[in-house]
Structure 1
Amino acid sequence: MTTPVLFIHGLWLHGSSWEPWLQRFRDEGYDPYAPGWPGDRETVTSSRQDESAIGGHGIDDVTAHFAALIEKLPEPPIIIGHSFGGMIAQKLLGQDYAKAAIAIDAAQIKGVLPVPLSALRATLPVFKNPANKNRTVSLTAKQFRFAFGNAVSAEESDELFERWTIPAPGKPLFEAATANFNPHSPAKVNTNNQNRGPLLLIASGKDHTVPESVTRSTLKQYRHSEAVTDLMTFPDRGHSLTIDSGWSEVADNCLGWLRKQSL
């Protein structure tokens, strides 16, 4: 039986953005798949046309959505998540839904402080209007360039924007922003779980949306757990590292880490 690998995208990207990863992992003998968030449609185009279905979904809602999918699998999967997908991957790992997890440029979990200014600027399209908590928000090509594509050429950034972006729910961002003031925040992760599978945190040195300092602060949240928690850094990459022309380097490093864990 081949090991299932569940890929979870973050805000503003469609699940199909994982397509190159799916093929690479399939070639390596895994059984990968990349379902969308609640409300996502099958394609980028259809998701853009029906954005009302995407709005209003928060962190707990999305986590429960993927937990239900995992329960239908023959065995717990390896979970690989990007951005908010990385936060969801950590939540599911802490809840023992996964045999291992890789969180790439993961959104801040409860306990991570402070929030860098570049992260606030990257998410300003959502926070500038409190009503966006229950709405979907789309990025412009210029906003995508700052939040995702700052480490690639302007031409590549625009191409990625046109190919993969969809509207995103504002609710997860509002929940993460208030996490440290809410004892029951959905952004809370069971970082003390001693029996969970191994976790790899990946940071990008040029990421505006989830700066490296956020990932390093996340690593500190796991200091009371003896379970494997590793950090890998790509100094010259931005938030688009899973979808841009350098994606294969990241994927190959993920595969190498999984082999070291005998997974």
Structure 2
Amino acid sequence: MTTSPDTVVLVHGLWMTPRSWEHWVPYYESKGLRVLTPGYPGFEIEVEALREDPDVIARLTVPRTVDHLAAVVQALDAPPVIIGHSFGGTLTQLLLARGLGAAGVAVDSAPTEGVRVTPLSQARSLFPALRSPATRHRAVGFTPEEFHYAFTNTVSEEESLAVWER
């Protein structure tokens, strides 16, 4: 007999922390599911600290991050549903490719290798991080305006600022 997954693992995107899922957690918990929101290695900080020192992002590697998340999933009694946003969506796909997870959802996933066409809007979203050769090997944060364009452009600027502050 097949059983339904009882756990949801929510994987945040870059420039975000597990707190970005704060409104999703109670929803899934109200459905009787256990919810995990693991941070990336080094992301045991709040988003305010991440904005102060975005170099935490620059120290990430994809293999280390996937291995970290894989360990979280493998420690569970049964495969979970994995949901990831942006870079978390890419990581979700990599976890599923390893055979981890009962199912996965990639919400507005960052493009994976092999995706050659980049819409102008996506390039503009990444411009703050790519605009200066001096920051080539560093991470940079987003201003509230840049965050609104890149992440929360379907809500008002006021609501976007509230999300940016969280």
TM-score (normalised: structure 1):
0.57
Root-mean-square deviation (CA), in Å?
1.9
Contact persistence 1:41–1:47 (CA under 8 A): no
Per the alignment, residue 134 of structure 1 pairs with: 137
Aligned residue for 2:84, secondary structure, equals strand
Contact 1:38 1:65 in 2 (8 A): yes
Counterparts in 2 of 1:51 and 1:111: CA distance versus 1, 3 Å: closer
Confirm or deny that 1:16 pairs with 2:16: no
Q: In the TM superposition, what whole-angstrom CA distance separates every residue of 1:44-90 from its partner, at most 9, and x where no partner exists? A: 33444554444321222211110111121112211000001001101
- Kept in 1, the 8 Å contact 2:54–2:141? The answer is no
**Alignment CA distance shift 1:62-1:131 (3 Å):** farther
Match of 1:81 in 2: 84
Aligned with 1:103 (options 103, 106, 112): 106
Correspondence for 2:66: 63
Counterpart-to-counterpart distance in 2, 1:145 and 1:109:
23
Task: Tell me by how many angstroms 1:127 deviates.
Answer: 1.4
With normalisation by structure 2, the TM-score equals 0.88
Letter in 2 for 1:76: P
**Correspondence for 1:124:** 127
Q: Which runs of 5+ in 1 are unaligned?
A: 164-263
1:206: which partner in 2?
A: none
Q: Whole-Å Cα distance in 2 between the matches of residues 49 and 154 of structure 1?
A: 22
Deviations 1:231-250 (A, max 9, x none): xxxxxxxxxxxxxxxxxxxx
Deviation at 1:125, TM superposition (A): 1.2
Change in Cα spacing, 1:92 to 1:102, as seen in structure 2 (3 Å) is same
Q: How far apart are residue 114 of structure 1 and its match? A: 0.6
Q: 2:38 aligns with which of 14, 35, 38?
A: 35
In the TM superposition, residue 133 of structure 1 has moved relative to its aligned partner by 4.7
Shift, 1:130, TM fit: 4.2
Match of 1:80, SS state, is strand
Letter in 2 for 1:26: E
In structure 1, give the amino acid aligned to 2:59. G
The Cα shift of 1:155 comes to 1.0
The alpha-carbon distance between structure 1 residues 50 and 120, as it changes in their structure 2 partners (threshold 3 A), is closer
* Aligned pairs for 1:244-263 within 5 A: none
Looking at structure 2, the residues matched to 124 and 54 of structure 1 have their Cα atoms a distance apart, in angstroms, of 16
Which residue identity lines up with residue 136 of structure 1 in the other structure? A
State the one-letter code of the partner of 1:16: R
CA–CA separation in structure 2 for the residues paired with 1:104 and 1:133 = 27
1:149 to 129, 146, 152: 152
Q: What is the 5 A alignment of 1:181-260?
A: none
For residues 46 and 91 of structure 1, the distance between their equivalents in structure 2, rounded to whole angstroms, comes to 28
Determine the C-alpha separation between the residues in 1 that align with 2:151 and 2:50: 20
Q: Deviations over 1:179-202 (max 9, x none)?
A: xxxxxxxxxxxxxxxxxxxxxxxx
Residues 72 and 131 of structure 1: is their aligned pair in 2 closer, same or farther, counting only changes over 3 Å?
A: farther
After superposition, the Cα gap between the structure-2 partners of 1:38 and 1:131, relative to the gap in structure 1 and judged at 3 Å, is: farther
Task: Structure 2: state its 5+ residue gaps.
Answer: none
Q: In structure 2, how many angstroms separate the alpha carbons of the residues matched to 1:133 and 1:65?
A: 25
